[in-house]
Structure 1
Amino acid sequence: MTGLALVLTEPRARFRDLLAAEWCKVWSLRSTGWSLLLGVLTVVAFNVGQAWDRYRYWPTYDPAARAGYVRDGMALWDAFTGNAAMVMLLAAAAMGAVTVTGEYGSGLIRTTFAAVPARRSLMAAKVLVVAGVTTGFGAVAAGGSFFATQAILSVHGIGLSIGHPGALRVVVASALLAPVSALAGMALGTLLRSGAATIVANVVLLLLVPAVTSEKRHWSAVLAHVQPQKAWQRLVKTVDWPEPFPWTVGGAWLVYAVWAVAAAAVTVLAVQRRDQ
């Protein structure tokens, strides 16, 4: 018919479609499953190694040391160690970073943005998928570590249950360290767009900065208290040792939340006018 034109317009992608696409994209990489599996095994191995060492040398402890260990709930310190937290932090940050830098490195990001012009929605979907995957990773690693270590310690009657005061907080704080770190890695990857540069930035920001800060001076304590690693240390602490500048458990949870929200916002907003 003359005078009439048939205009075909592609329907806008629904957000659940973007979630499904990003979910498939993450799991289409063979390295994803292996990285998660090796990450969990490494984290659990560090913690089980600490618990086994405690089990092995427990008979050599004097009565005062044994009483102090039980009184202070030190079994929770063995449930998730600092070394394990460092491994989880770096592994999760790398997972988050590669979901962004991998696409920029291969050039796939141009195709992705061409197919989905709604960049913010696309990146929001990517953020949710990565947060969900790494939360599961953290939950398996933290929960597995807790139950494995306490089973070992229970041979000597010093293991604790998940209902012990502070035990659940240790598990949850350790599990959530993974998505917080992953979102930070995503934000850095979105800004730097280079895998190598992002890995270096992750190490500097998430490990070196907390390592060089001290809680002996006020300005340094303030800087330390806004770091995810330091927040994790506060959350898993079972004894309130005297400190020059103490801070609260609520403050540590707030640090987790602020880092997660800020990192997600950077990831979503930084791509609006940048293709490469």
Structure 2
Amino acid sequence: MSGLHPAGFRRACRAEWTKLHTEAGHGWLMVALVLVTAGVGAAVSANVPCPVAGCGQDQVRLSLAGVSVSQVLAAITAVLLVGGEYGTGLIRTTLVAMPGRGTVLAAKATVLGGAVLAVGSVAVLASVLAGRLLLPGAGYTPAHGYARLSLADGPTLRAAAGSVLYLVLVALLALGIAAAVRDAAVAVGVVLALLYLFPLLGHVVTEPHLQRLLAQLGPMPAGLAIQATANLHHLPIGPWTGLGVLALWAAIALFLGGAILRLRDA
């Protein structure tokens, strides 16, 4: 995606933004992302009790539990941004209007990343607020060693901001895969398999070193380490390092998607 012309890139971004916000499906997916993230987080916050001091739960991670579900909606939005155009044949018009294929993918990534960043911020803030209101009722109180959730707390802020970045990176990962495979249904299947296969294998295998390796390499388990605020020394991978692993997966997917897009006919 090197050699982007600024004026052409701006035109491409405007075109991609028009597609994103004028197609009703994308808008509903973004609304659903907020509702699912906050709703699942609220349900978990209200229903995972801490009856005694030292119950061992990470209340920040509980409040952000919805991210592991709503990431599917971020991925589907990304896939439709590419796969939808291939399905309708609109991609030919897009590539004729903007012959620089690297520019097209870069514009899609920029617009998609910005949209998920904004919507994800609302979703995560709603989750933290729900946790702040509901967790004390489930026993997460100062008497049990838990302060009320607040973004003024450094680890909580890191987990919240990192969760937003996690959603953005999952969307970019899905965008790159969609650009590579072109078919929306296949792309969704590949993305979901990539996200959930590593955690599934981690529960199946019994060898501790292999479990740890899977948690360090998988885009979902590594990336979600950013949400941890307790017992960090027990984590298979550090919070920011884990998010870096997901970023590497996304970068590789975008690189491969861009390379295949340039080499293959629409």
What's the TM-score once normalised by structure 1's chain length? 0.82
Q: Which amino acid aligns with 1:234?
A: A
Q: Distance in 2 between matches of 1:20 and 1:110?
A: 18
Q: Secondary structure at the match of 2:257?
A: helix
Corresponding residue for residue 257 of structure 1: 247
Corresponding residue for residue 157 of structure 2: 168
Q: Which moved more, 1:160-169 or 1:87-96?
A: 160-169
Residue 220 of structure 1: CA displacement? 4.7
Corresponding residue for residue 59 of structure 2: 75
Residue 104 of structure 1: CA displacement? 0.6
Which digits, 9 at most, give the CA deviation of each residue in 1:15-45, with x for residues without a partner? 1111111111111101111111112111111
Q: Which amino acid aligns with 2:21?
A: W
Residue 165 of structure 1: CA displacement? 4.1
Q: Distance in 1 between matches of 2:18 and 2:42?
A: 33
Instruction: Pick from 228, 234, 237 the counterpart of residue 237 of structure 1.
Output: 228
Q: Distance in 2 between matches of 1:157 and 1:212?
A: 32
Change beyond 3 A, Cα 1:13–1:168: closer
Contact 2:222 2:237 in 1 (8 A): no
Q: Distance in 2 between matches of 1:188 and 1:257?
A: 14
Q: Does 1:225 align with 2:216?
A: yes
Asked which structure has the greater CA Rg, the reply is 1
Count of residue pairs the alignment pairs up: 253
Q: Which amino acid aligns with 2:62?
A: D
Q: Which runs of 5+ in 2 are unaligned?
A: 1-5, 142-147
Q: Distance in 1 between matches of 2:215 and 2:244?
A: 14
Q: Which amino acid aligns with 1:211?
A: L
Q: Does 1:90 align with 2:48?
A: no
Q: Distance in 2 between matches of 1:259 and 1:163?
A: 31
Which digits, 9 at most, give the CA deviation of each residue in 1:122-147, with x for residues without a partner? 11111111111111222111111001
Change beyond 3 A, Cα 1:108–1:255: same
Corresponding residue for residue 3 of structure 2: none
Q: Which amino acid aligns with 2:209?
A: H
Change beyond 3 A, Cα 1:77–1:115: closer
Corresponding residue for residue 27 of structure 2: 33
Q: Does 1:202 align with 2:196?
A: no
Contact 1:161 1:167 in 2 (8 A): yes
Q: Which amino acid aligns with 1:149?
A: G
Residue 179 of structure 1: CA displacement? 1.1
Q: Which amino acid aligns with 1:120?
A: G
Query: In angstroms, what is the RMSD of aligned CA positions?
Result: 2.5
Change beyond 3 A, Cα 1:145–1:31: same
Residue 217 of structure 1: CA displacement? 3.9
Q: Which amino acid aligns with 2:13?
A: L
Q: Which amino acid aligns with 2:224?
A: Q
Q: Distance in 2 between matches of 1:174 and 1:108?
A: 33
Corresponding residue for residue 267 of structure 1: 257
Corresponding residue for residue 85 of structure 2: 103
* Identical positions, percent: 27
Residue 246 of structure 1: CA displacement? 3.5
Give the 5 Å matches for 1:135-174. 135-154=117-136, 158=141, 159-174=148-163
Change beyond 3 A, Cα 1:126–1:162: same
Residue 51 of structure 1: CA displacement? 1.9
Q: Which amino acid aligns with 1:52?
A: A
